[in-house]
Structure 1
Amino acid sequence: MSRNPIRRVRAKGDAFSIGFVIGQATASSFRERVFREGVFINEQDQGLNARWRGSDYLKTLESASRTAYPGYVREIEGIAAGAGQDFETVFLWHCMTELMLPEGVCPATNNIDRCTSLLIPAEGDEPAVIAHNEDGGAQFLGACLWVEAEPDEGPAWSGFMIPGILPTYFGVNEAGIVQANNNIRPNDLKPGVPREIISRAILSAKGLDEAIEILKRKDRASGYHHNLGEAKTGRLVSVEAPASGCVVREVASPRAHANHLLFGEFDGLEQTISVSSRNRQEAADRMIAEGALAEGAEAVLFDETTPIYANGSDQTLATSVFALFPDRVEWRVHAAPDERDTFSGTIRVV
């Protein structure tokens, strides 16, 4: 029996209908692991809920979201209905990063890091690859979903989700766009569109340039580091996109990214860098330089000495590998190093 079962869910229709299906699929996990009997289980989330529920600031985030991307807010409304929760609870859950401290500081007490990613350009007959560890609280082991959606409008897409959050942590669409996100903690939070909605917009992008333009929006409330790829062209880009800026790097040689800003353009931006993030970045860079990728992306992402693969209160919830060919993306999702290819598939580029 798997210690980390990941369920596969298929949804189609309008935005609300897709949200409703995945909300139903995640309802019990949301009640058991996120929001039980009207209270967030995590102590930090309890504090944020107490401070910001009903606040003008949360309403500002909602208003910005509805103005920029009403369809994705409609998906969140569907998730809430399907999960049997009120909209404000589920929207607030989507905005936990933005609500850390709207004065602009993402505090060091928020010590959970999220993810390590690899970008590997095409070489010879080998495809370009984006590979990614999705890390999160160990309470989400066995509660995550792989969602395959066919919306009435826009490209079909697939993505990974934890209970109650839009499936955007890593994913792919039928335009051949691949996305994998890493948490970053710069001190530049501001009112605007939450990063989960921005990430959902990227999963509907019809090309890499369109995805990059989404990340250049001036009304983003916070941000991620985004690993993006385009199957048709084989282009890979590493995009650091905190609320205050967006820097895009075309990737010409293999590189890794953990959970802090690396680009010199952000040297003047204060950020929180955990020991874990620094160690994972240094270890992945070293392993790439030593030729570990000859054994595949998993040789780096499954490292348990640093560790890059997390076991503990912060846990690797899934590992994904996307191979980008001109006409298709071949993908696989591992539940654990000893539970490989939990899901795999091919999405043809339209």
Structure 2
Amino acid sequence: MCTSPVAHQMSSSMSSGKILPRRQAIPVLYTRGTHYEVGFDMGRTFGSMIKNFLILSQPLNETYLPLYGTAKGRQIYNETLESVKGSFPQYIRELEGVADGAEVEFHKLFLLHLDEILPQALKHQPRNKNQPTGCSSIIVNQKHCRLLGHTEDALTETLNHYYFVVAHIISDKPQGKYNVKEEHFMSLCYAGHLPGYTMSHNHHGLVFSINTISAELLRSGKTPRHFLTRALLATSNVDDAFRVLTDAGVGAADACSINFSFLADPRQMFYNVEMAPNPDRKNESHLSIKEVPLGAHNYHANQFERIHLDQANELMLKSSVSRMHAFGKYKPPASEHDVRNMLGDVTGGCFSVWRDNGRCDEVVKTIAVGLFDLNAKTFSLYSDNPSLTEPHCTLPLLYK
């Protein structure tokens, strides 16, 4: 059997845990079943990618796992896991399915979903202050042009470690604190992660993107943002979405920004919601909701624009300021072309909107760019700079 040089490079890289050059491939999994069955299908299908990512992930191997090995770290892990089980046991079963299907340890996947909660709760320094990870989102809400554009920026080891999941979940009895029996959605997933913390949409017409925010105040025993945005995929209207993000009785453990709209919303409104742990009312999330009506636009990066709480990760803040400054140099976007040019902007140097200097030593890269077109009811994904290339794929939005 003859093996091509590219195939040999890919095989050896996957087995040795090396980072592949940017690939022009986006796998898609269609799956149907219970939460555990859908998770198992994700793990079984993308097992090699998940295992490779667990080898490559520096935060996991250099910070989260060593802290998990301490008595206090295990306590924080357990109390947060029990909290999530109390609210969303179905998503824990889903993650258990991923672990079983991929034949990896569940605690490693759950630690990825805890993210910075564990080191911050232990006051472990340094956190990821030297890693300006993040994403940029652009909302255009014109009658003739309703768009949500988004860059997925992540640690370089995440490059090529993502996939689409199109899932139809039907349960025999109501699940979790909101008694959900059916979910039908498509989500871009990082390897080993639950759907929902990247660009996603569901059959109720919800479309959304996420901007990570690194709050200084993080809480153990609360709901990690990954699980709240996973629960967003089950919502059917705006009030449902606000209820999930408020998370009454528990509250968010960490912070992010959510940009979303519903195709069927008669107001044709977009929203940007900043969500954070609540320093005052500790049993619900702190939310700041901004409406983006017809005729308006909005930008968001990786810092609080309206919530007045301390933020960590100085480089992420500098990067956010740089990207927002870059957007401010353009006229207000009014077309797909405008949004693609802005998301492909490279004028900010190491803090530019589109991040990829072509070197493997770059800590953060833009791994993909997505564009929701609410009028055309399509989602386009770009593997390379969207100002210079055509979309790698354009998929219809699921809509009941």
TM-score normalised according to structure 2 size:
0.79
Match of 1:32 among 38, 52, 55: 52
Pairwise CA RMSD:
2.2
C-alpha separation in 2, matches of 1:24 and 1:157: 19
Equivalent in the alignment of 2:367: 317
Paired letter, 2:103: G
SS state of the match for residue 332, structure 1? Answer: strand
Give the corresponding residue for 2:74: 55
TM-superposed deviation, 1:88: 1.3
Distance 2:331 2:121 in 1: 38
Aligned to 1:199: 229
Which residue of 73, 78, 81 corresponds with 2:92?
A: 73
Q: 2:259 aligns with which of 203, 216, 227?
A: 227
**8 A Cα contact 1:240 1:247, kept in partner:** yes
C-alpha deviation, 1:64, in angstroms: 0.8
**What whole-Å deviation, never above 9, does each CA across 1:26-61 have from its counterpart, x for those lacking one?**
2212222323xxxx6416642221112471100011
The CA deviation at 1:219 is: 2.1
Contact preservation (8 Å) 1:167, 1:200: yes
Greater shift after overlay, 151-160 or 241-250? 151-160
1:155 aligns with 2:183: yes
Q: Which has the larger radius of gyration?
A: 2
Displacement of 1:14 after TM fit? 0.4
Q: Tell me the TM-score normalised to structure 1 length.
A: 0.90
How far apart are the structure 1 equivalents of 2:399 and 2:336? 27
In 2 relative to 1, CA 329–294 (structure 1 residues): closer, same or farther, beyond 3 Å? closer
Q: Give 2:290's aligned amino acid.
A: R
Matched, 1:344 2:394: yes
- Match for 1:215 among 238, 241, 245? 245
Out of 203, 213, 221, the residue aligned to residue 174 of structure 1 is: 203
Counterpart of 1:303? 345
Q: How does 1:283-298 map to 2 (within 5 A)?
A: 283-289=326-332, 291=333, 293=335, 295-298=337-340
Q: Which moved more, 1:107-116 or 1:250-259?
A: 107-116
Q: Is the alpha carbon distance of 1:220 and 1:61 closer, same or farther for their aligned partners in structure 2, counting shifts above 3 Å?
A: same
| Helix, strand or coil at the partner of 1:240 | strand
Structure 1 position 293, deviation (Å): 4.9
Which structure 1 segments of 5+ residues have no match? none
Alignment of 1:267-278 (within 5 A): 267-274=308-315, 275-278=318-321
Q: Which residue of 2 aligns with 1:240?
A: 274
Task: Give the length in aligned residue pairs.
Answer: 339
Query: Which residue number in structure 1 is paired with residue 382 of structure 2?
Result: 334
Aligned match of 2:322: 279
Identity %: 20
Query: Within 5 A, what are the aligned runs for 1:254-269?
Result: 254-263=297-306, 266-269=307-310
Query: 1:329, CA displacement in angstroms?
Result: 2.9
One-letter amino acid matched to 1:346: P
Shift of 1:216: 1.2
Question: Per-residue deviation at 1:314?
Answer: 0.7
